[in-house]
Each structure stands twice: as structure tokens, then as C-alpha cells.
Structure 1
Amino acid sequence: MFKGLSLISILLFSFTANAENWPGEQWPTGPTVAGPAVQALENYAFPLRNDTTREGIRSDALLVIHDGQLVYERYADPTRADTPHLIWSISKSLMATVLGVAYGEGLFKLQDPVVQFYPALEKHPAMTMADLLHWASGLDWQEDYEYAPLKSSVVAMLYTRGHRDMAAFTADHDAYARPGQAFRYSSGDSNLLSAALKAIVGPARYPDYPWTALFEPLGIRGAVWEADATGTFVASSYAYLTARDLARVGLLMARDGRWRERQLLPKAWVDFSREPFARYRANQDEAVPGGHWWLNRAVDGAAQPWPDAPVDTFAALGHWGQAMYVIPSEKLVIVRYGDDRDGSYRHNELLKLALKAFAMKVQP
């Protein structure tokens, strides 16, 4: 095979054949994938939109990265490739990723009591950082939205009496269980993590920390992250990224926290993110909580939440259909932005169709 080639040529050929694809200012593009499977995916993700009733599946963006290459991308107006899109609760997984950098700096441990970083939690001294990352603070929190606004903790936190200091509003809640004993999804838990981060990295570093720790190393240029009146990032809800930029976070997680030659996140942190919360009790069709990420794992006798996707699939998910799926075994990162209002979108259906279209289409 190598007859007539010099040793240097052979080495260069070997290096090139095994080189990884990484985005620079732009994503490298892979071979165009077309055909009936791609058409079926588009038919599901991009049906004709009705902007009057806002019914049905309403995708704003769909982007597929395979083995570090951009292989598919489509947008619906007014969203474009350069539009920072509100990612809602994907912000929670983004905050967990930022915290992972601080964890790698040795600035905190998972079992550290949160009160040592955020003294407003003095009446909940046993709560740990791991408890918050598992949405297991034990606080009596009601994560209800438009359908139950009067009893909703999250609506009050984001829009009414808690909006100026979201962490303090959350910390003032009573407990319904001991920390770490039960899963209860809570946007308040995520904002407590954001407040803790301020003390973990120090108030001088905090305003720029998501950028210096994560966005700049990944080449993310246009991220926006809103803060409340105290200057604390709204980790539950209010980050904005383009689909291309969010996919960089997905590639980082798919490659166990490594970005090119740099181990930006400790592998142990990525492993924690992808490990099911041990005290979680499964509900039908509900993704399994990990460390502020969602997992496609069969736990507690229940089936996989997304049965047509590999078991190693994990995701960051947000209100109105925001989703980033990471599938390491298939070298896939899929970003889907949406404006769904009626609950008709199904994660498993999109994953099934995307896997038929793109799994193993580009060999390393």
C-alpha cells in the first residue's frame, strides 16, 4: 500500500487518517446526506407552521454534527444560523458545564455544603452541591407553568415576587424532604447553583466566568446570559446561543470533556453528569436525571425513555421544545430549537428519524 512513499509521507498519511474534526471559527462540513430518511426527518421536524394558533410541531432550527463535522442544518424564519436563540432550561445543563470547569480548578467538591458558598441557605445546612445538581434539594418547590400560575414557584421566581433575587427567593422555601433523598425538578435549584458559583470563583471573576471558563475556549462568540438584579446569572432559563455554538458544548461532552488537546472538564465530572441519580424513582416516558443533564437510561424497572435511541444518549432539554442530544456511540450531536406550545413534539420520534438518516453515515 505504501510502496514508493517516504517515512514522513506515511506518518503524515497516518496522522491525517486518524485526525479528529474540531470546529474553528466555523464548523467543518461533512458529506451532504440526502434521501428518503432525511426527507422523513424534515417532514416530522418542519411541518407547515400555523403562526395564528401555534399548534403542532414548530421547529426553529435543526442541526446535526457527526464526528465533529456539520452534516445537516435547517432553520425556520426568523431564526438563522447566526441567531442567538433562547434555550430556556438548556441553561441548566450549560451552568452545570460551567461549574465543571470550576470543579476542575479544584474550587469545590460535590459533597461540599452549599451554605458555605451561599449563606442564605442557613436553614438548609445539609444541602450539598451534588443535591442541587440532582434536583434533589428537598425544597418544597412547585415547577408549574402556564397551566397553574397561581401556585407556581417558578413563575413567581422569574416574573413576580422573586425576580429581583431568584436565589434568595428559592432559599426561603421550606423543606419537604431531607436533601438528597428525592428528585423534584426545580428551576430554583439551578439558580442556587448560580449563586454558589459567585462565591466559588469570587465576585471579581464571576461576571465573566462563563465566557473565560467555557465560551471562549470553545470558540463561542455570541452567547448572551441574562442576570437578575443581584448580578446572578439566571441559570434556570435565560441563556441564548446559536445552534452552532450550542453544538460545541455537545461535542465537548461527547468527547468526555476534552477540547482539542485540553481537558477542559474533568472526565469524572462528565461521568457524574451522565450517572443516574441513585434515588430517582422512574416515571413513564420521563428522561432520567443525571447531574443537571437528562439520560436515556433504564432505571428502577422502567424502560428506556427513548427506546429508539442508544442507551448512552443524554440530553439538555428546555421549555417549548429546546433540545440538544448527545450520542457518543454514534458520534452525533443534534441541536433542535423550537416554539412548541401543545406538547405534540416527541424526543424519541425525532431521535429515531435522525438516527435513520445520519447514524454511521460518515466513517472516521
Structure 2
Amino acid sequence: MPTPLLRPLGLALCLAAGLARAETWPAADWQQGTAPSGGAVQAFESYAFPQRDDASRTGVRSDAVVVIRDGELIYERYAGPTRAETPHLTWSVSKSLLATVLGVAYGEGRFKLDEPVARYYPAFAGHPNVHLDHLMHWASGLAWQEDYEYAPLKSSVVAMLYTRGRGDMAAFAAEHPLDAVPGKRFRYSSGDSNVLSAALRGMVGEEAYGNYPWSALFEPLGIHSAVWETDAAGTYVGSSYSYLTARDLARVGLLMQRGGRWGERHLVPSDWVAFNRKPFADYQPDPAKPGDAVPGGHWWLNTQLQGAARPWPDAPEDAFAALGHWGQALYVLPSQKLVIVRYADDRDGSYHHNDFLKLALAAFAPEVKP
């Protein structure tokens, strides 16, 4: 029998063990939770999966929605050619995936955020004052134009992905001059992300780089569907070209929802996750775009800044997301223990994060108010 002095310690250990056992994690597949039903779910589906004439290429079109609550799969639906086993193009969700891979490297002591980019990517030597944390906040100061198919002639990103920069995307970005002081101006840039991907190569070494996203992140999480394209120089296109099933992307969301922890392993350090979720200090919200999320460390935040409304007012302030072109999204809502993946083909701007999240919360976490 334990002495009275040791009983509280033994009780605490038993309680901790009980909590650990109670926490649900996916194994080869997600554990199924109780599927919600009723009017709130129907309202959510009416918004997420409306009838649409695909010939017009307008309106909301979700290809997949997966909802994880407290580690259990409680909802999923697919449309079009997308199925549960389909690795879907994530577009710029790739940037947050890259940030998570970098988080593993950070935890391994392979770099520090205040180091010059050129230390790990010598082709960036022309910009000696640009540091890794500047790239992580899309604040390199490069004269970059992130215009898409609507303004292709002046678009840096279109040139990088499809024309003169596609052979070596990081080198193409590095050739851009500065037009702002590094670390002082937010300007969203797929070039910044691809330079980070090239820097990762320098951090981990040539031999490890080819398999590093898998050995560092995908394999520990049990992700088997991941595809990540490289450019002709062998650099992962960290800005745009990763593909995962919705269920597998949700594993990354659960990792982030639980502060970088996967089971008993702290795969990503908690201070890295805190950095991802900290707003860029010099960010100035655009009053003309009140729904725009706040940039963090290569993730997007629902933080309310002084003098501005919360970007998604019907979602909790601790919500954050990985977002991509045409409606790709990985939403993480820690206080609701929710992870929501949405794959889509939105083309006309009629989809709104706040509307989707408001309906999702009513359907999947009705007892918790933001």
C-alpha cells in the first residue's frame, strides 16, 4: 500500500494516464464518431453543396468536406469526380503544409528564424538582409506581383509556375529586386514560399531532402496519399503543388489543433505552432476586404486586430486555417475541437469563409458559442 504522502502523486499519474487513453487519434483510418443530423446539417449542406450548373463555372462548388471532432470523423461528403481516396490539389494550402514540415526541421535544430535566408539558399545572396522569419510572414520585401489568371501579363506567380520561372522557381523569385524593407511589409508571395522550400533543402541536406516531407511529417501522421510536385531543379513547389485526400489533410489539422502533438510525440514544437498562430506585427488590414484573414507564420488567422473587425465574426477568435486558390481550406478550431477540410472549385467569389464556418459550427458544435 502506498504511503499517504505518495497517494496524491499516484492519483495524479492515474488521472493523466486516463486522460491519455481517452484521447482519440486516427490509426490506419479515422475512428467514426456520432454523425449529426437535423436542420442545421441540412442548412450547412445547402450552402456547401448547392445545385450548380458547372457549364457556367460560377457559384459555390465543394468537391469534398470532412469534419473531425475531437479526433473522430463525424461528417464527410464528396461531389464530382472527388472521392475519399482522391488526392486533391491543395493549391496554397501547400504553403501551410510546408510550414509544418519546416516546424519539424525547426524542432530538430536545423535552423533559427532570425537567420539569413542565404545561409541555407546561396542563390539568395543578393538579399543578405532577408531572414527566414520574413519569408514565413510573406514579408521578404521582394517586388512580387501575386496576380493570377485575371492579370497574367504582370503576374510574377503565373510566370513562376507556368512560363519563364518554372524550371527553377526559387531562383526566379530570388532574381526579383526589393521594393520594401525586409520584415516591414506584408505582401502575399508564392515566391517567398518557394524560396523557403529551397532553403529547406539546405537545412536538411541533399540526400535527405527528397524524402523529407514524408519522413518528417506524412509518415509519422499515417498519411499515405500525399503527392508533392517538384520543379525541374528538384525543389518542392511549396507554394502550390501538394495533393492529399481530405481525410489525410485532416490529420495535419488534428496535429495543429493539438498544438503540434501526435499521440505521445511532440512532432512539431509548441513554440513553432505559437509562431504560426501569431499575427505578423506590421500587418495592416485592408478596410475594403474585411473578410481577409490575418497572416501568421504561413497560416491564416481569425485574430481581431486593433481598429479592425474579426475577419470571420461568427467563428471563434482562435480559429486559423490553411487556405488555397478556388476555395481549398483546412480550418482548425481548437476551442471547438474541430478540424474541417474543404476541397472546392469556386470561381466567382460567392463563397465566404464566415458563412461556411457559421453554418458548420451550428451543425457540428451547436452547444459551443464562438
TM class by shorter chain equals over 0.9
Provide the rounded CA distance (Å) in 1 between the counterparts of 2:171 and 2:19: 53
Secondary structure of the 1:22 match is coil
Are residues 1:215 and 2:218 paired?
Answer: yes
1:169: which partner in 2?
172
Secondary structure of the 1:123 match is coil
| Runs of 4+ with >4 A deviation | none
Provide the rounded CA distance (Å) in 2 between the counterparts of 1:329 and 1:360: 13
Secondary structure of the 2:322 match is strand
Once the two structures are superposed, the pairs formed by residues 10-49 of structure 1 within 5 Å of their partners are 15=18, 19-49=22-52
Contact 1:309 1:352 survives alignment (8 Å): yes
Q: CA deviation at 1:192?
A: 0.3
Q: CA deviation at 1:300?
A: 3.7
Are residues 1:59 and 2:65 paired?
Answer: no
2:98: which partner in 1?
95
Match of 2:132 among 129, 132, 145: 129
Provide the rounded CA distance (Å) in 2 between the counterparts of 1:160 and 1:265: 36
Are residues 1:202 and 2:205 paired?
Answer: yes
Secondary structure of the 2:67 match is strand
1:308: which partner in 2?
314
Q: CA deviation at 1:119?
A: 1.0
Provide the rounded CA distance (Å) in 1 between the counterparts of 2:305 and 2:240: 28
1:4: which partner in 2?
none
Secondary structure of the 1:205 match is helix
1:320: which partner in 2?
326
Provide the rounded CA distance (Å) in 2 between the counterparts of 1:358 and 1:318: 23
- Structure 2: which 5+ runs fail to align? 1-13
Provide the rounded CA distance (Å) in 2 between the counterparts of 1:244 and 1:40: 23
2:348: which partner in 1?
342
1:339 alignment partner AA: D
2:206 alignment partner AA: P
Residues 1:29 and 1:361: Cα distance change in structure 2 (over 3 Å): farther
What TM-score, normalized to structure 1?
Answer: 0.95
2:293 alignment partner AA: A
Are residues 1:80 and 2:83 paired?
Answer: yes
Contact 1:157 1:163 survives alignment (8 Å): yes
What TM-score, normalized to structure 2?
Answer: 0.93
Provide the rounded CA distance (Å) in 2 between the counterparts of 1:280 and 1:122: 26
Match of 2:299 among 293, 297, 300: 293
Contact 1:282 1:300 survives alignment (8 Å): no
Q: CA deviation at 1:198?
A: 0.3
| Stretch deviating more after TM superposition (121-130 or 99-108) | 121-130
Q: Deviations over 1:312-336 (max 9, x none)?
A: 0000000000001000000000000
Provide the rounded CA distance (Å) in 1 between the counterparts of 2:194 and 2:143: 15
Secondary structure of the 1:74 match is strand
Q: CA deviation at 1:49?
A: 2.4
Match of 2:264 among 247, 261, 264: 261
Q: CA deviation at 1:19?
A: 1.1
| Stretch deviating more after TM superposition (277-286 or 353-362) | 353-362
1:155: which partner in 2?
158
Provide the rounded CA distance (Å) in 2 between the counterparts of 1:104 and 1:287: 27
Q: Deviations over 1:115-146 (max 9, x none)?
A: 11111111110111100000000000000011
Contact 1:294 1:316 survives alignment (8 Å): yes
Secondary structure of the 1:272 match is helix
Q: CA deviation at 1:17?
A: 9.2
Q: Deviations over 1:12-40 (max 9, x none)?
A: 9x827961010001000111100000000
Provide the rounded CA distance (Å) in 2 between the counterparts of 1:35 and 1:63: 18
2:120: which partner in 1?
117
1:69: which partner in 2?
72
2:3: which partner in 1?
none
Provide the rounded CA distance (Å) in 2 between the counterparts of 1:115 and 1:160: 25
Q: CA deviation at 1:292?
A: 0.1
Provide the rounded CA distance (Å) in 2 between the counterparts of 1:243 and 1:32: 17
2:10: which partner in 1?
none
Q: Deviations over 1:199-249 (max 9, x none)?
A: 100000000000000000000011000000010000000000000000000
Secondary structure of the 1:325 match is strand
Provide the rounded CA distance (Å) in 2 between the counterparts of 1:300 and 1:289: 15
Provide the rounded CA distance (Å) in 1 between the counterparts of 2:71 and 2:356: 20
1:6: which partner in 2?
none
Contact 1:330 1:360 survives alignment (8 Å): no
Secondary structure of the 1:43 match is helix
Secondary structure of the 2:211 match is helix
2:338 alignment partner AA: L
2:11: which partner in 1?
none
Identity of aligned residues (%): 68
Aligned residues between the structures = 354
